[in-house]
Chain A
Amino acid sequence: MVFPTLQFIGFFAVVLALNLIVWNRNGWRKALLIAASYVFYAAWDVRFLALMAFVSATAYLAGIGVTKPGLRKLSKVLAIVAMLGVLGVFKYYDFFMLNLQRLLEGTAFARDLQWLTLILPVGISFYTFQAISYVMDVDRGHIPARKNPADVFLYISLFPQLVAGPIVRAAHFLPQIDAPTRPDTTARAAAVVLILSGLFKKMVVANYLSVLLVDPVFGLPDGQYWLSALAATLGYAIQIYCDFSGYSDIAIGVALLLGYQFHINFDQPYRADSLRDFWQRWHISLSTWIRDYLYIPLGGNRGTPLHSHFTLILTMTLAGLWHGAGWNFILWGFFHGAFLAIERVFRRLRIRLPKLLAIAAVFVIVGLLWIPFRAASFPETLQMFAAFTKSEGYAAPEIIPFVWVLLALGFAMNWLPLALRDRAEMLIARLAPELQAAILAIGVWIMFATAQDGVAPFIYFQF
C-alpha cells in the first residue's frame, strides 16, 4: 500500500478511529497496530509477512538471549547472521552469483550457477536494520530487553515507517509504546503540515519531474547532449530529495496522529556546505545507523588517519551496497566515501572554501554522484557522463516551462526557512480540530487533483 492513494486514506481513517477507541488499553492498541501494519504490508505481498514475523521473532528472542550471561555472544551472533542472511538471500544472492559467474568465465572453474530470482521484499533493508539495532542496543545496555513480544513486533512493523523508513531506533521508540502521547493541537498541526508538504513534494514535484524530465533523458542516455544531461541531473537531484523526504514527512505526520514521534529524516540537505554536513542532513536515520553500528565498530576515528580514511570509504561503500545490489550503488557509495576522506584531509590542512562556494561545490558533487545512482547500468552511467561533453543531440523537448517551475519549487522546499513551517504549524495549532481536519482534507484533495494519473511508487521502496 502506498501513501498517496485512496486505498491508504481509507485504511488510515479506519486505523485512526480504532486507535482512538482503544487508546486507554495499551495491549489492545499494540494488537491493533500490529494487525494494521501486517494488513498494510500484505497489501503489497501477503507471502512476505512470514519473513517479517521471522525477523521480529529473531530480534525478540535474541534480545532476551543477550541479557543471559552464558548466551550473550551466541545470541548476538546468531541473530545478526540470521538477519543479514535474510537480507543476503533476498537482496544480494543473485548479484553475487552473477559476478562470481563472470569472474569464473574463461577459467577451469567456469560453470552455470544457480539463480534464485527472488522478488525483493519491500522494505526488507529497513526492517532488518531496525531489528539489528534492537539487538545491539539491548546488548550494549542502552535499553532493557522486552519481555512482551508484541513490543518488538510493533517496533519492527509499525506501518508508517515500515517500507521506507525513517529507521526508527528502539531506544527512542520503545518507551513511547509504554506511554504514547495523545496528539494535542500542536501535534495535529505538525502532522497536517508534514502530510501536506510530503504529498506536495511527492505527488507534484517528484512525480512530474520524473515523468517529464528525468525518465525520458535517463531512459535514452546515448542520444543526449549537455543541456538535457544537465537538466536531468538537476531534475533527479530534486526528484529524489522530494520523493524520499516527502515519504519521510508523511510517515512522521501519520505516526504523530497515532501518538508516536519520529526524529526528522531530512534537514534541508542541499544547504550543506560540506559532504559531512550533507550526510548529517540527508537520510539522517540511515547516516546515524551506519555511524553507530558500522563505522564506529569498524574502528571509526580511532587509529591512524589512514585507517580512519579506509574505514570511512569502506563504510560508505557498504552503505551504497545497502541501497541496492548493483555496481552503480557500490560506485556511488565508494565515491561518497572517497570525497568524505578527501574533505577530511582538507579540513586537517585548514583549507576552506567560502560558504556559498562550498554549498555549490557540495551540490555539484552530490548531483553528479546521483548519476550512477539513477542510471540503469554502468554503461548507461558512462553514457550520461559522456553526454555532458556533447553539444548536439536530442532537442530536449522535455524541458518545458512547467519543468522549470517544478525545479524552482523543489529548490524552494529545500531552501525555505524552517521558521515558515513553524509559523504555519502555529497558525494551524490555534484552530479548532474540525478546521484542522478540513485543512488536511482540502489539502489532500488539491494534491490528488494536481497529481498525474496512476500511482508512482517511491524510489526508496526498491531498497
Chain B
Amino acid sequence: MTRFTAACFVALVAAWLLSGERFLDAVFEMVDLGPVDDTIIAGVVVAEDWKASLGLPDLFSAMRTAIHQGLGLL
C-alpha cells in the first residue's frame, strides 16, 4: 500500500505539472482552517510559481480539446 500511495502522489504531481489546473483554486474553495490556511496557501503559491517557471506544456487542455472535438462537442 505504501508503494501504491507513493505512486499516486507522483502521478498527482505529474498530472498537475502537465495541466493548466491550479491547486490554488482548489485550496481557496476549501474550508477555512484558520492560521494553517496561510501556511498552506503560501506553500501552494510557491509551488504554482515554480510550475509556471518550468514552462511545461498544458497536455491536459490539449487532450481535452482533442476528445471534445472527437465527440463533436466543439
Residues of A within 8 A of B (CB): 5-7, 9-11, 13, 16-17, 20, 39, 42-43, 46, 182-183, 188, 400-402, 432-434, 436-438, 440-442, 444-446, 448-450, 452
Given contacts A441-B12, A449-B64, contact A188 B4 (CB under 8 A): yes
Distance (whole angstroms) from the CB of B55 to the closest CB of chain A: 21
- 18 further A-B contacts with Cβ under 8 Å, apart from A448-B60, A452-B73, are A5-B26, A7-B26, A7-B29, A10-B23, A20-B5, A39-B33, A43-B29, A183-B1, A401-B72, A402-B72, A434-B4, A437-B3, A437-B5, A437-B8, A441-B8, A441-B11, A442-B11, A448-B64
Given contacts A10-B26, A433-B7, contact A402 B73 (CB under 8 A): yes
| B50 interface residue (CB < 8 Å to A) | no
Specify which chain A residues have a CB less than 8 angstroms from the CB of B32 in the assembled complex: 46
Specify which chain B residues have a CB less than 8 angstroms from the CB of A7 in the assembled complex: 26, 29-30
Distance (whole angstroms) from the CB of B4 to the closest CB of chain A: 4
Bound-state Cα–Cα, A182 to B5, Å:
13
Question: Which chain B residue shows the least CB distance to A440?
Answer: B8
Within 8 A of A (CB), among B1-37: 1-5, 7-12, 14-15, 21, 23, 25-26, 29-33
Specify which chain A residues have a CB less than 8 angstroms from the CB of B23 in the assembled complex: 6, 10
Of A43, A188, A438, the contact of B11 (CB 8 Å cutoff): A438
The interface size bin for chain B is 20 to 34
Contact (Cβ within 8 A) B67 A450: yes
Contact (Cβ within 8 A) B31 A42: yes
Contact (Cβ within 8 A) A445 B30: no
| B71 interface residue (CB < 8 Å to A) | yes
Contact (Cβ within 8 A) B67 A437: no
Bound-state Cα–Cα, A11 to B26, Å:
10
Contact (Cβ within 8 A) B71 A402: yes
Distance (whole angstroms) from the CB of A218 to the closest CB of chain B: 21
Given contacts A10-B26, A43-B29, A400-B72, contact A20 B21 (CB under 8 A): no
**Nearest 4 Cβ contacts at the A-B interface:** A441-B11, A437-B7, A433-B4, A433-B3
Specify which chain A residues have a CB less than 8 angstroms from the CB of B8 in the assembled complex: 13, 16, 437, 440-441
Contact (Cβ within 8 A) A436 B73: no
Specify which chain A residues have a CB less than 8 angstroms from the CB of B25 in the assembled complex: 6
Query: What secondary structure prevails in chain A residues at the interface with B?
Result: helix
Distance (whole angstroms) from the CB of B49 to the closest CB of chain A: 18
Specify which chain A residues have a CB less than 8 angstroms from the CB of B15 in the assembled complex: 441, 444-445
Bound-state Cα–Cα, A444 to B16, Å:
12
Residue among A42, A433, A436, A449 having the largest count of chain B Cβ atoms under 10 Å: A449
Bound-state Cα–Cα, A13 to B6, Å:
9
Specify which chain A residues have a CB less than 8 angstroms from the CB of B12 in the assembled complex: 9-10, 13, 441
Distance (whole angstroms) from the CB of B56 to the closest CB of chain A: 15
Query: What secondary structure prevails in chain B residues at the interface with A?
Result: helix
Bound-state Cα–Cα, A1 to B3, Å:
27
| B42 interface residue (CB < 8 Å to A) | no
Contact (Cβ within 8 A) B11 A46: no
Residues of B within 8 A of A (CB): 1-5, 7-12, 14-15, 21, 23, 25-26, 29-33, 60, 63-64, 67-68, 71-73
Contact (Cβ within 8 A) B1 A182: yes
Contact (Cβ within 8 A) B30 A43: yes
Specify which chain B residues have a CB less than 8 angstroms from the CB of A6 in the assembled complex: 21, 23, 25-26
A-B contact pairs, 17 of them (CB 8 A): A10-B26, A13-B9, A16-B5, A39-B31, A183-B1, A400-B72, A402-B72, A432-B3, A436-B4, A437-B4, A437-B7, A437-B8, A445-B63, A446-B67, A449-B60, A449-B63, A450-B68
Specify which chain A residues have a CB less than 8 angstroms from the CB of B30 in the assembled complex: 7, 11, 39, 43
Distance (whole angstroms) from the CB of B26 to the closest CB of chain A: 4
Contact (Cβ within 8 A) B7 A438: yes
Distance (whole angstroms) from the CB of A117 to the closest CB of chain B: 24
Distance (whole angstroms) from the CB of B60 to the closest CB of chain A: 6
Question: Which chain A residue shows the least CB distance to B63?
Answer: A449
Contact (Cβ within 8 A) A17 B5: yes
Specify which chain B residues have a CB less than 8 angstroms from the CB of A13 in the assembled complex: 8-9, 12
Bound-state Cα–Cα, A450 to B70, Å:
10
Question: Which chain A residue shows the least CB distance to B4?
Answer: A433
Question: Which chain A residue shows the least CB distance to B9?
Answer: A13
Specify which chain A residues have a CB less than 8 angstroms from the CB of B2 in the assembled complex: 20
Specify which chain B residues have a CB less than 8 angstroms from the CB of A445 in the assembled complex: 15, 60, 63
Bound-state Cα–Cα, A13 to B9, Å:
7
Distance (whole angstroms) from the CB of A186 to the closest CB of chain B: 12
Contact (Cβ within 8 A) B31 A434: no
Distance (whole angstroms) from the CB of A289 to the closest CB of chain B: 30
Specify which chain B residues have a CB less than 8 angstroms from the CB of A5 in the assembled complex: 26
Distance (whole angstroms) from the CB of B47 to the closest CB of chain A: 12
Bound-state Cα–Cα, A285 to B27, Å:
34
